[in-house]
Structure 1
C-alpha cells in the first residue's frame, strides 16, 4: 500500500510540474504577443485638436472658421 501511495504521489508531482512548465511557457508567449502588438500602435495621448479632427468636431465643421 505504501508503494502505491508513493507511486501515485510521484505521478501527481510529475503532472503538476509539467502543468507548471506549460503555464510558464504560455505566460512567456502571451507577454511576447502583447509586446509585439503594443509596438504596432501609436499609444501616445492625443491632443484635443486631433480628437476633434478624428470625430469631425472641428471649428470649421461648425462654421466658426471660414
Structure 2
C-alpha cells in the first residue's frame, strides 16, 4: 500500500511527465509549422515575463 506522500510524489511526477510530453508535442508541431520562428515565439515570453514582473513589482512598491 502506498502512503499519501508516495502518492503525492507519483502524481506530481505524472503531471510533470505528461506536461513535458504535451509541451514537447506542441513544440514539435510548432517547429514543423513555423520552423526556426518557433524558437523566437518560445523565447519571446521568457524574455518578456521577467521585465513585466520587474516593472509590476516596482509599481507595487513605489506606489
Runs of at least 5 residues in structure 1 that lack an aligned partner in the other structure: 36-66
Paired residue total: 34
Once the 2 structures are TM-superposed, how far is the Cα of residue 7 of structure 1 from its aligned partner?
Answer: 0.5
Partners of 2:17 and 2:29 in 1: CA distance: 18
Runs of at least 5 residues in structure 2 that lack an aligned partner in the other structure: 36-63
Q: Larger helix proportion, structure 1 or 2? A: 2
TM-score scaled to structure 1, two decimals?
A: 0.48
Once the 2 structures are TM-superposed, how far is the Cα of residue 34 of structure 1 from its aligned partner?
Answer: 0.9
If asked which structure has higher relative contact order (CA below 8 Å, sep 6+), I would say 2
Moved over 6 A (4+): none
Question: Cα deviations across residues 2-58 of structure 1 (Å, max 9, x unaligned)?
Answer: 8110010001100000000000001100011114xxxxxxxxxxxxxxxxxxxxxxx
